[in-house]
Amino acid sequence: MILCFPMNVAPGMESGGGCGDTRLTAFAEVEMRTTTACIAGILAATFTSRTATGSFDPAFTVAVYNVAQLPRGTLARAEALAAEIFNSAGIDLHWADATVSNQMDLLNDFSMTPATGCTQRLHSESVRVEILSHAPPGFALQALGYALPCAERGVQVTIYADRLEAVSQHTPAAFYRVLGHALAHEIGHVLLRSSTHENGGVMKRVWSRNDWQRAAVTVVPFTTNEARRMLQELRRTQMGHVLAAGNRR
């Protein structure tokens, strides 16, 4: 996710990264692969009952590593907003607090995203998110974070709290609303199995000041096409679990 401020609005932020002065924000993803698994089996109990019946439940869980130690109330409001965005697409999103037992769990190994999108279905009905206090030295000045649509293990979404704060300071959107839409955008990439963008909605590549004004008072939703694709992916993932469970019998 790339954030670009007009230079006269955010003094101290250098231009670069292909961001023009007339753009307020732009979203772009850096494809990565993590080296270790973080929360294997977190949804085992959730989909075990479904595999027995073969029914489709458009739900998934997001495990959040709140490394930045954001206030619980702020995070809860952002999670509720992101859940509302997914609910408008017909998807039931649940949240789980994740703890870091080994710092190696959060390491990332960078790799490129296939131009045609991910070739494999979702590895599980969960998405793993980490929220860090600060972007690392050398990371693009405009970057809010990144998504890993094709990762089979490890953290799939990383978001930087200091970059979110910069947006909230220079737009009408409160911090929790910036975080909520950022979560929806990045998690959307994982469910869509792609780093591509749309011309409108929460997956829009470039966000104008008007977009953030809208996000400040209401939800910016997924498009109808994106909702359909995410539901198809969740169905494909659940059916894969059903077939795998049947083969183990």
Question: Where do the domains of the chain lie?
Answer: 25-248
User: How far, in Å, CA of 210 to CA of 23, rounded?
Assistant: 11
The CA-based dihedral angle spanning residues 195, 131, 152, 42, taken in that order and rounded to the nearest 10 degrees: -130
Q: Which range among 29-43, 53-67, 168-182 has the greatest average pLDDT?
A: 168-182
**Six token digits for residue 135:** 């972007």
Query: pLDDT tens digits for 54-93?
Result: 567 789 999 999 999 999 999 999 999 999 999 999 999 9
CATH topology of domain 25-248: Collagenase (Catalytic Domain) (3.40.390)
**Mean pLDDT of all residues belonging to the chain:** 77
Gap between the Cα atoms of 161 and 180, Å rounded? 12
Q: What is the pTM of this model?
A: 0.77
